[in-house]
Amino acid sequence: MQLTPATPAFEATLRATLPAPVFRPLEPRYLEEPRGKFHGADALVLAPGSVEEVSTIIGRAQGERVAVVPYGGGTGLVCGQVAPDLPRPILLTLERMNGIRALHAADNVIEVEAGAVLAHVQDEAEAAGRLFPLSLASEGTAQIGGLLATNAGGVNVLRYGNARDLCLGIEAVLPDGTVLRGLKRLYKDNTGYDLRHLLCGSEGTLGIITAASLKLSPRPRATGAAVLQVESPKAALSLLEITRQVAAEGVSAFELIHRTGQAFLAEVMPQVRLPFGTLPEWVTLIELGVSAGPPPEELLTEIFEKAAEAGLVSDGVVAQSERQRLAFWEMRESIPVANRLIGAICSHDISVPVSIVPEFIDRAFRLVPDVGPFRINCFGHLGDGNLHFNVYPPKGEARSAYMDRAPEVVRRVHDLVHALGGSFSAEHGVGRLKVGDLEHYGDPGRLAAMRAIKAALDPAGIMNPGAVLTR
Amino acid sequence: MQLTPATPAFEATLRATLPAPVFRPLEPRYLEEPRGKFHGADALVLAPGSVEEVSTIIGRAQGERVAVVPYGGGTGLVCGQVAPDLPRPILLTLERMNGIRALHAADNVIEVEAGAVLAHVQDEAEAAGRLFPLSLASEGTAQIGGLLATNAGGVNVLRYGNARDLCLGIEAVLPDGTVLRGLKRLYKDNTGYDLRHLLCGSEGTLGIITAASLKLSPRPRATGAAVLQVESPKAALSLLEITRQVAAEGVSAFELIHRTGQAFLAEVMPQVRLPFGTLPEWVTLIELGVSAGPPPEELLTEIFEKAAEAGLVSDGVVAQSERQRLAFWEMRESIPVANRLIGAICSHDISVPVSIVPEFIDRAFRLVPDVGPFRINCFGHLGDGNLHFNVYPPKGEARSAYMDRAPEVVRRVHDLVHALGGSFSAEHGVGRLKVGDLEHYGDPGRLAAMRAIKAALDPAGIMNPGAVLTR
């Protein structure tokens, strides 16, 4: 299906219907993405202020076959928000729809607009004595609409689930301009196909999420963290088992960090405090949130001691203050920033069954040297089987000299993941970056069904064309 | 689209391809459903033994436009499994595909076939020291395929979510015979549209689930229960708040039971022990599962005392043994059986936001007498905002004398639920019984999208025609 550009004439018809604040200048930020892999081209930037305005825009776009690229916080890592090669699309930013519509503390539900920034939603929940547990490095910028559209993960998935699991209801505009009014705050509602879950993770290709009702949790009474050195990923997995035995459902996060990640921080972000003077090969960061029984520090000490007795842990620090706990997390959350300062040749956001993580790491660390003399920064959410496996040039050498080998590394890593029953995109999504991977590794039956659904809901193919599925 | 019957000639072509055990006699059980509202007609019963055989059957059915009605444990309450008015359909029962394919204890995942009975899956999980938390009255008969296809709820949703929330991956056959191979055991996998969630809750209208990988949980170290008398639903809600304050995430179930439910048990199931000699107007049944801190009996006693101090609870019993705890649950789970022995005029499976439950009960109890002198049995999952609101003839009078007033009661109750932002089907689904309700109360945008998806995936309209959507 041929798309047409958003011409001045098209813009004029919109201007006749929509108020002036909807029309925004094309700022450079709309054309960039964090990793600099893609760069957007000319676009008509529209910032609607209501679901009705979104509906009007999408309806007109569908009528004229103008592509629509939804834009949230712009923090996506797979280029879902940046379209370099579309005939002048509409770049539809939700930034003006950023309100908290309601907070129902007794129901543990918050209703927010798509443009609300995650940290703001977390703060609103906290002010009501509740927890909105979605948490990730970009939470100060990422917006709820984008987080749901990409089914974001982060550090608390182990305990609270992915973004979709926190979504009770959704308001959205479908590709023909129809408004989907599903902003319920029900814990049970079995009345037909679950379009909420279809839109979550569809990355803007099936419609635009304009608001959501989100599930809140009780705040654990006390939170604590520890960093423990382990000898190997296998030891880390045994430590996870011990952690669960001791803290049961109190385990909120279980992160694994390789030495390279710490070395990168020491190199380019010396202001970030590292827990150990000599950098250990593997560090785990464990967070507990408990509401009954012994305080987290006591549980973490018990975990540390048990793991040390079992020969799994050689050294460790249990945070003795909230400040120290936050310092651990600053270390963890600064790794992606340091990574960008170093500059990766390629990066991977993979998952495998949790029990298979050690095998993946072992094999992946051995295959990379076959392609080149690269540094590997492997870190991530061990408790979810989700690792970020990023590959860098040798120290002191230019990234550009090795970029031609990136496809080979990516292919080999993703082949390995596929062979292990894993996923080439655990939490970042497909975007434009991994469309080829989905074509290659995706189950053919699933792909056919996805294409049928896309064609049924978006016959003109205007919604975020080129993301998730090939155009 | 015209459907054609499964003729002897059609059956002959299947017999030429499929082994003899696939072909089963049409036993009466296939044509009945628990409430006796619908009765099935002649059908070709097929019991495939593998996903490939399911694929063959569905492919042929699609080619000849023969309707397929999937059949699990037969416990569904909305007539999704019983089709009275189709030209001789295939009744496809999953009963031979009932194996446990694998249990990955370290990953907290069990892979089971669709025909596995829920209680069997619970037992397998327990044998591995894990918990499969889905639990409902029909668990000795209901099968995993049907439970997922209807997104079953039950008593532990409060803590562990609905059936869909326990499903990590799915194997299914789509309406054109394509096999969807999505039996992954990953906690994070963001690679395109979530067909798992689309099939969960689609009630067999978009394909047939043949196997699933299911999420297991740690078993709480200790479990305890209490029955507490409350004066009103509002007091029960305050008691829920206290329960959460004391036991935090240890609250596994929070049920509300009206006096009528207890009276029905006394009348038709005197063998079921009731906790109180004089039947209280409202009883709550609270279950805790805790892994740290004080034992559940201590927490329940604390809850009881705090609630009594606050004037919320007038009497109560904390189970002092596992036997007593099970007796509480026998009382709760026997209510649906007693209900059937009494014989309802109509029943409702509704949900509203938790905080609105008292308003719903108050208004619903007041509107019924306007229609007739009926008895009301209201019970259910207060913690989820999900109530079963069933209406019976006056004691000693025949149900048949009042059946003509059922539609009026249903309409008024569902109108009220709709006005309160609730759902006319919280956990049972739409089936054939509530197709009209979905048409009437469903969001038009959502219905249009559902129809588009149905037409895209099942253009011949063979999959469970007449369920969820009108034919």
> Closest Cα partner for B254 from B303, B214, B321?
B303
Asked if the C-beta of A80 comes within 8 angstroms of chain B's C-beta atoms, the answer is no
- C-alpha A397/C-alpha A394 separation (Å) is 6
Q: Tell me the per-residue pLDDT of A221-235, one tens digit each, with 9 for 90 and over.
A: 999 999 999 999 999
Taking a contact as any Cβ pair under 8 Å apart, which residues of chain B between 194 and 213 contact chain A? 194-195, 197-198, 200-202, 206
Q: How confident is the model at residue B37 (pLDDT cuts 50, 70, 90)?
A: confident
Q: Tell me the per-residue pLDDT of A203-216, one tens digit each, with 9 for 90 and over.
A: 999 999 999 999 99
Q: Tell me the per-residue pLDDT of A92-134, one tens digit each, with 9 for 90 and over.
A: 999 999 999 999 999 999 999 999 999 999 999 999 999 999 9
* Chain B hits for A351, Cβ within 8 Å: 186-189
Q: B393 vs A208, A316, B188, B413, CA distance in Å?
A: 49, 68, 51, 17
Percent of all residues in chain A with a pLDDT value above 70, rounded to a whole number:
100
- C-alpha B424/C-alpha A37 separation (Å) is 48
pLDDT at B291: 87
Q: Tell me the per-residue pLDDT of A18-58, one tens digit each, with 9 for 90 and over.
A: 999 999 999 999 999 998 889 999 999 999 999 999 999 99
Asked if the C-beta of A129 comes within 8 angstroms of chain B's C-beta atoms, the answer is no
pLDDT at A1: 65
* Chain B hits for A293, Cβ within 8 Å: 292-294
Phi and psi based region of residue A428 (left: phi greater than 0; alpha: psi -120 to 50; beta: remaining): alpha
Which residue, chain included where needed, has tokens 């039996």? Answer: B183
* Chain A hits for B428, Cβ within 8 Å: 190
* DSSP state letter for A224: E
Q: What chain A residue is nearest to B384 in terms of C-alpha separation?
A: A187
List, in order of start, the domains of chain B with CATH numbers.
100-218 (3.30.465.10), 227-419 (3.30.70.2190)
Q: What chain A residue is nearest to B436 in terms of C-alpha separation?
A: A191
Q: Tell me the per-residue pLDDT of B363-384, one tens digit each, with 9 for 90 and over.
A: 999 999 999 999 999 999 999 9
Asked if the C-beta of B382 comes within 8 angstroms of chain A's C-beta atoms, the answer is no
**Quick check: A275 and A214 in contact, CB under 8 A?**
no
- C-alpha A5/C-alpha B185 separation (Å) is 43
Classify A139 as helix, strand or coil. coil
**Pairs of CB atoms within 8 A across A/B:** 285
- C-alpha A4/C-alpha A61 separation (Å) is 9
Partners of B148 in the beta sheet?
Answer: none
**Quick check: B223 and B252 in contact, CB under 8 A?**
yes
Type of residue found at A217:
S
Residue B11 has pLDDT above 70, yes or no: yes
pLDDT at A292: 82
- Phi/psi for B319 (5° steps) reads -60, 130
Q: Which two tokens stand for residue A347?
A: 């990066």
Q: Do B426 and A354 touch (CB under 8 A)?
A: no
Q: Summarize the confidence of residues A79-90 as an average pLDDT.
A: 96
pLDDT at A291: 87
Asked if the C-beta of B450 comes within 8 angstroms of chain A's C-beta atoms, the answer is yes
Count CB-CB contacts under 10 A for residue B137: 17
Q: How confident is the model at residue B66 (pLDDT cuts 50, 70, 90)?
A: very high
* Chain B hits for A80, Cβ within 8 Å: none
Q: How confident is the model at residue B141 (pLDDT cuts 50, 70, 90)?
A: very high
Q: How confident is the model at residue A471 (pLDDT cuts 50, 70, 90)?
A: confident
Residue A180 has pLDDT above 70, yes or no: yes
Count CB-CB contacts under 10 A for residue B398: 10
Asked if the C-beta of B107 comes within 8 angstroms of chain A's C-beta atoms, the answer is yes
CB-nearest to B385 from A179, A182, A187 is A187
Q: Do A179 and B468 touch (CB under 8 A)?
A: no
Q: Do A180 and B425 touch (CB under 8 A)?
A: no
The burial of A314, by beta-carbon neighbours within 10 Å (0-12 exposed, 13-18 middle, 19 or more buried), is given as middle
- C-alpha A408/C-alpha A388 separation (Å) is 17
Classify B118 as helix, strand or coil. helix
Q: What chain A residue is nearest to B455 in terms of C-alpha separation?
A: A456
Sign of the dihedral defined by the CA atoms of residues B105, B108, B112, B118, in that order:
positive
Q: Tell me the per-residue pLDDT of B172-219, one tens digit each, with 9 for 90 and over.
A: 999 999 999 999 999 999 999 999 999 999 999 999 999 999 999 999
**Angle CA B179–B59–B141, to nearest 5:** 65
Q: B375 vs A172, B199, B343, B344, B393, CA distance in Å?
A: 42, 38, 11, 9, 6
- C-alpha A155/C-alpha A145 separation (Å) is 19
pLDDT at B249: 87
Q: Summarize the confidence of residues B271-281 as an average pLDDT.
A: 95
Q: Which two tokens stand for residue A116?
A: 């609300």
Q: How remote is the C-alpha of A79 from its chain's centroid? A: 12
- C-alpha A145/C-alpha A118 separation (Å) is 10
pLDDT at B36: 87
Span between the terminal Cα atoms of chain B, in Å: 9
**Quick check: A82 and A432 in contact, CB under 8 A?**
yes
> Exposure string (b/e) for A163-195, b if CB count within 10 Å is 16 or more?
bbbbbbbbbbbbbbbbbbbbbbbbbbbbbbbbb
Taking a contact as any Cβ pair under 8 Å apart, which residues of chain A between 401 and 430 contact chain B? 421-430
Asked if the C-beta of A384 comes within 8 angstroms of chain B's C-beta atoms, the answer is yes
* DSSP state letter for B293: S
Taking a contact as any Cβ pair under 8 Å apart, which residues of chain A between 149 and 188 contact chain B? 150-151, 153, 157-158, 161-162, 164-165, 174, 178-182, 184-188
Q: Please state whether beta strands A222-230 and A282-290 pair in parallel, antiparallel, or not at all (unpaired).
A: antiparallel
User: Number of helices and strands (H, E) in chain A?
Assistant: 14, 18
* DSSP H or E run through B449: helix B444-457
Taking a contact as any Cβ pair under 8 Å apart, which residues of chain B between 299 and 318 contact chain A? 299
- Phi/psi for A195 (5° steps) reads -70, -25
> Closest Cα partner for A174 from B446, B120, B264?
B446
Count CB-CB contacts under 10 A for residue A28: 8
Closest-CA distance, B110 to chain A, in angstroms, reads 12
Q: With a cut of 0.90, is the ipTM above it?
A: yes
Q: Tell me the per-residue pLDDT of A416-469, one tens digit each, with 9 for 90 and over.
A: 999 999 999 999 999 999 999 999 999 999 999 999 999 999 999 999 999 999
CB-nearest to B151 from A190, A244, A293 is A190
> Exposure string (b/e) for B90-114, b if CB count within 10 Å is 16 or more?
bbbbbbbbbeeeebbeebbbbbbbb
Q: How confident is the model at residue B286 (pLDDT cuts 50, 70, 90)?
A: very high
Look over chain B and give the mean of its residue pLDDT values, rounded to a whole number.
Answer: 97
- C-alpha A61/C-alpha A66 separation (Å) is 5
Closest-CA distance, A329 to chain B, in angstroms, reads 21
Residue B293 has pLDDT above 90, yes or no: no
Residue B27 has pLDDT above 90, yes or no: yes
Q: Do B445 and A109 touch (CB under 8 A)?
A: no
* Chain A hits for B425, Cβ within 8 Å: 189-191
pLDDT at A408: 98
CB-nearest to B292 from A150, A292, A424 is A292
pLDDT at B1: 65
